[in-house]
Amino acid sequence: MLAEYLEHAPVMYADWTGVAPGTNVCRFALPDGKYPVAIPAALRPMHFEALFCTGGTLAITRRNEPELSAGSRDILLLSDTSHIRTADIVSPLSGMLVVIDARSAHGCLEALAEIFGGKKLDTSQVKRRMDACRGCAVLRSSAWSGAVFETLETLPQSEQGRYCVLKSAELLYLLCAQSVTGRAPEPALDRTVTRAVMHAKDYMEAHLDEKLTIERLSRMSYLSPTMFKACFRRIYGQPVHTWLRGRRMERAAELLRTSSLSVLEISQAVGYGSASQFSAAFGRHFGSSPGQYRKLSELGGL
């Protein structure tokens, strides 16, 4: 999928190297520009891709599955794209892409098996494990992956490709050696995504008077709209619109209690275009009109 995209996309650089039969690696970086960019969800038959991501974010949506994202210091594994609905580069991507043609690389796998004492590498086990993840998985925030990226940063560029191929072979070994335990758990949010969503929440808090849309907030966060909504709900336990409506009502109630602003002025201060729309929303939230709420506050009933 990424291999096909890099062959034709505008890039800052894309250095391809053939490391072994059936195994190629590309050190690449995409330029700044207008994002997100959709890429075709297509993978050549019997091919396996491993992206060692050093920057940017790639978001993938799958049928009836949570959205996946791969960001800095994540490893994306791809063996099948048939379950992928959309794949979007949401900020300039960079990293090392290892591409393995399973048919051509069979001899290398046999040699790898000899290194492990003649252990048979059951590649059908790899397929079963990847099928359990619908052909797509992201490895993040583990001691193993942390050590991989720490080592990668210390190596000269001329050796980084070979190192990532070695780590991809190690992943194949681990996939062969471990049993399938069922559906993969929902991946943890990385720190970059969490910070972006928290920043968007703080922005909403400070700009309740503005028109705040998912499209605007997701662009600000360098996330796809679907990913932004899903991550916000995971962090704050509510959909974005539910959280925003509640915060606007809380701010409106505070202004009714502590200021002499008119209902129209308060409605504008919390992002409503008319006093009637605001009053209807306030009534649904608090069970009383803004005027009734203010009177109760003045009488000490709140």
Divide the 302 residues of the chain into consecutive groups of 10 and give the mean pLDDT of each group. 88 86 91 89 87 92 81 89 91 92 71 58 68 82 77 90 88 63 45 86 94 93 86 84 93 94 95 93 92 86 57
Give the type of residue at 21: P
SS3 55: strand
DSSP states along 36-54: -EE------TTEEEEEEEE
Closest CA to 223 of 244, 188, 184, 194: 194
Closest CA to 57 of 214, 190, 213: 190
Tokens of 93: 């991507």
Does the reported pTM lie above 0.85? Answer: no
| pLDDT of res. 203 | 95
SS3 281: helix
SS3 94: strand
**In the block, residue with structure tokens 């962090």:** 235
Tokens of 215: 């499209």
Phi and psi at 133, nearest 5°, equal -100, 15
Tokens of 97: 């892409």
Q: Where are the beta strands (DSSP E) in 112-257?
A: 136-139
pLDDT tens figures, 161-194? 999 988 888 887 776 665 433 333 444 556 788 8
SS3 13: strand
Q: 206: which residues sit within 8 A by CB, 6+ positions away? A: none
CA distance 62 to 230: 13
43 neighbors 28 (Cβ within 8 angstroms): no
Number of residues assigned to the chain: 302
DSSP states along 202-263: HHHHHTTTS---HHHHHHHHTS-HHHHHHHHHHHHSS-HHHHHHHHHHHHHHHHHHH----H
SS3 of 57-91: EEEEEECCCCCEEECCCCEEEECCCCCEEEEEEEE
**In the block, residue with structure tokens 């990847």:** 130
Give the type of residue at 164: C
CA distance 253 to 25: 59
